[in-house]
Structure 1
Amino acid sequence: MNGGSHCEIVIEPPVLAAISARAALATPGVVRLEPGIRGLVSTLVRVGKQRWAGADSAPIEGVLVRRDEDGAVRVRVNLVLSADRQVAAVGYAVQQEVSRVVCEQTGVTVAEVSVSVHDVEPESA
């Protein structure tokens, strides 16, 4: 065997999305992820395929991962936040946490994390 052989491992976008979703949900002030209309359709198709195959579905609703032609990974996270937190601070914390956790768990560097706040829910009593 040649000592110069090269093996490349590619982490697919659905895996990166699941990791990103868990990181975002673990950020204080995030109530839930929000899939939006496009995300709902994609989720129904994905979950249907996985159920047909007998596989469990990873939670990726509200997260879109795109790999550009140059290989750069971009993550979009759609959120609902708690009203008792500052929106900008939570958004920044989500960006940092998603970038950190994805890199830590996969070795993939995220070029961009964009956060879209779809709603703010009142504090629970």
Structure 2
Amino acid sequence: MSTANDPGGAAPRKRVLIVGLEPKFVDFSQFPGLDEARLTAGLQAAEQAVAAAGFDVAWCLTDVAWEQAEPLLRERLAADEFAAIVIGAGIRTPAPLLLLFERVVNLVHEAAPRAHLCFNTSPETTAAAVLRWVRP
């Protein structure tokens, strides 16, 4: 899931990185009413909404294991400069993932200190979370 820059010769759009769990790794017992299909659809809708708000979107969907998440997140953060980084509720809210959340925040702080950190409550609130801190 990624959105390309506008080829019309306009200035490059600001980039947003969305960090979350790959749907197959989500413990859906933590999120009543949500399942893998609904989450996947929500992630696609979030990408469309952020792009419609005027941003390019990059993804970092990962495993719950830091050993898997860290190299992937480092690679994504090194690939570009991001105006905003959204850390999704799937990483942020379940108590068993607190250490993963702390590690993600600290790595983002280290590797992308100029990016605004944004937090959504669901895929549907991703664009609003970005727009609280960054304008296209």
Higher helix share: 2
- In the superposition, the TM-score normalised over structure 2's length comes to 0.30
**Higher Cα Rg, which structure:** 1
**Structure holding more strand per residue:** 1
